[in-house]
Structure 1
Amino acid sequence: MRGFALSALHVPPFPARRHPAVERVAGESAGWVRDLGLVDDPAGQRRLAGAHAAELAGRACPEASPGGLRLLTDLINWLFVVDDACDDDGLGTDPVRLAPTVAALLTVLDRLGDPTPSGPAGGNPLAVALHDLCRRAREAQRPALLLRLVSQLREYLLALLWEAANRERHRVPGVAEYVQMRRHTGGVRPSFTVTDLTHPARSGPAHRADPALAVLDALATDLVCWCNDLFSYAKERGDTPATHNLVTTIAGETGQGEEAALAAAAARFNAALAAYAERDAALAVGADDGLRAFLATRRDWVRATYDWSRAAARYT
């Protein structure tokens, strides 16, 4: 199936770049995961190490400071741990079981990284790690980005309950519903925001609210998620098609077989990539420093996801 993705998906027409500190940050982030007790079993540790979060972060954020790269890598590792707990360890199959975990993490987000109150959520490793991420984002003294990050992480956690309800009922959502919710369940938007946090402040909230940028941001999010879906489909389907994958939702809504649904998903990705490149080029004309930085981060993420997915052991 990886061969299908490699042959069917168009390569993003943006330069491939990589941060020089990937290896060092990978070791530091692995220590962070270990020290906080995020993964306590050998199989889980091997699974997380094989995900190579620092490689993805280093390609998505090639010009960040080492501290910025480390924050993004830690966030990606945290998202992978939550994803594995839901998808592979059974936490995400029952919304009643998942709800207390989500509630504890929402409580952490309500603190906005404030370091003064007592420890979050009774020492739950996921909660302690999330608070540490928010605290470090807060230290950047970019309140608008901190609020955006917390809001996006809240949307991510609540969307996990949607996934759990679908799994409990063996429900495959329709394509439009899936595309909308996938923008939240993928953890892409908070990753974009942390990437923005690593760049100097250049554009204000009014610039960021431009509808044209919102459309481009949504397209970038879709491309990252759909690329992930196509590369991970073989691993996710197992003996039963995965509930939450673009291929499965297309098959369920249209009645197409697997081969046709794969082709349709790839065609959707390629069409979105062409639309993205066209919009990106139009916005780049006469762009100021803030807009150029925004466009660069999204281009890097789209290309990084494709390059990282080609070799990611996570999807084998």
Structure 2
Amino acid sequence: MSTTHEERAAVAQDVIPGSTLVELIDAHLYMPFPFRRHPQEAAAAAGVDHWLRTTGLSDEPGVAAMISRTRPAELASFNSPDADPGILQLVAHQIAYQFVFDDRAEEVGRHRPGQLLPMLCESIAVLRDGAPPSTPLGAALSDLYRQIRERCTPAQAARWSWKSREYVHGLLYEAVAQAHPTPPRSGLCTSVRSLTAGVEPFHPLCEAAQPCELTSGELHHPVMRRLSRLSADAAVWIPDLFSAVKEQRSGEMINLALAYQRAHHCSLPAAVTLAIQQINRTIREFERLYAEIEPELSPSGVGYVEGMAGWIRGCYYWSRTVPRYADAAAPALP
């Protein structure tokens, strides 16, 4: 995350006075993946609303308003434009659940991380041991896991469970970082962000959308593992750009752009521009490695990587217009 004085000076010249963060991001972000959306998006949105009512989550305070601001089916549509309707609905359910879970964890753990333990332990028990849930949030996770097992192969479901447990643990790390009196250094910030991204649990669904399971050689190839990491990082760092104003106002620490601002004592637009440079390097490495390994992949392997690329594309186009990040459309402060 270090940059030279010359690089920071060049960034300052790139910041257009009076521009919005959206305009700044659009001007500098490298996005080689074109906009696409699923034709069944509206049906997926209706399915999310029905599922939230069925599980009781929509009765929880603030959930209905939050879902309206975040549009999980829209994000699923942009990420998975070619998926069959069943996979699209699963992705939309999981996005909705993770938004509820993430917001609840932030609310509960902001000042006292220990208060998160009952919520996180329930999730781990459901995912690891198949334990019966005791809260509406746990019941929703249990039902989501049931849907995953019905649609995915046992190996894919096991990978989903493992990645989901990693995400749950990451939220405790985030709460500890938020509660600490000293903001985390840049390296720690990006490490925690990679855990809380919540993108890698969707990669088994990218695989489930393919005609066949990936071979062990494909799935565990070092290049494929690197592609998975790059996809998750780029996909979560892009929303960090658009959410920077909102998270700065609320005192959030785990955000790529805000980490640059703390590290370099610069304006938010300059920090966003520095973060964009890191994202652009990540996306270009993803492209390069994909081109390198593509000739070796089966059709299912190619589709799997395309699914990971879809998360990069989808998070960008979704973040540009979702009401959750409307502050990014306001003029950026100098």
Task: Name the TM-score, length of structure 2 as normaliser.
Answer: 0.86
- In the other structure, the counterpart of 1:106 is 124
Deviates more, 1:282-291 or 1:268-277: 282-291
Question: Cα distance, 1:286 vs. partner?
Answer: 4.7
Aligned with 1:158 (options 140, 145, 169): 169
For 1:117-132, list aligned pairs within 5 A.
Answer: 120-122=132-134, 124-132=135-143
The yes-or-no answer on 1:97 pairing with 2:115 is: yes
- In the other structure, the counterpart of 2:322 is 312
Question: How many residues are aligned here?
Answer: 306
* CA 239–134 in structure 1, closer or farther in 2 if over 3 Å, else same: closer
Deviates more, 1:162-171 or 1:77-86: 162-171
Unaligned runs of 5+ in 2: 1-20, 327-334
Matched AA of 2:32? P
Question: Cα distance, 1:141 vs. partner?
Answer: 4.9
Matched AA of 2:306? A
Please list the CA deviations of residues 162-200 of structure 1 after superposition, one character each: whole Å capped at 9, or x if unmatched.
Answer: 111112124422222222222220111112222322322
Matched AA of 2:127? L
> Is the partner of 2:133 in helix, strand or coil?
helix
The separation in 2 between residues aligned to 1:239 and 1:83, in whole angstroms, is 15
> Is the partner of 1:219 in helix, strand or coil?
helix
- In the other structure, the counterpart of 1:44 is 63
- In the other structure, the counterpart of 1:7 is 27
Contact 2:28 2:276 in 1 (8 A): yes
Divergent runs of 4+, >4 A: none
Question: Cα distance, 1:6 vs. partner?
Answer: 2.4
For 1:46-85, list aligned pairs within 5 A.
Answer: 46-85=65-104
Please list the CA deviations of residues 237-282 of structure 1 after superposition, one character each: whole Å capped at 9, or x if unmatched.
Answer: 1164x21101222233344443432221111111212222222222
For 1:256-295, list aligned pairs within 5 A.
Answer: 256-295=266-305
The separation in 2 between residues aligned to 1:18 and 1:149, in whole angstroms, is 24
> Is the partner of 1:64 in helix, strand or coil?
coil
- In the other structure, the counterpart of 2:257 is 247
For 1:105-254, list aligned pairs within 5 A.
Answer: 105-112=123-130, 120-122=132-134, 124-238=135-249, 240=251, 242-254=252-264
Task: Name the TM-score, length of structure 1 as normaliser.
Answer: 0.90
- In the other structure, the counterpart of 2:331 is none
Matched AA of 2:207? D
* CA 101–90 in structure 1, closer or farther in 2 if over 3 Å, else same: closer
Question: Cα distance, 1:103 vs. partner?
Answer: 0.5
Contact 1:246 1:265 in 2 (8 A): yes
The separation in 2 between residues aligned to 1:3 and 1:14, in whole angstroms, is 18
The separation in 2 between residues aligned to 1:159 and 1:273, in whole angstroms, is 24
RMSD: 1.9
Contact 1:51 1:312 in 2 (8 A): yes
Please list the CA deviations of residues 107-154 of structure 1 after superposition, one character each: whole Å capped at 9, or x if unmatched.
Answer: 111235xxxx7xx222x1111111111111111351111111111111
Deviates more, 1:190-199 or 1:127-136: 190-199
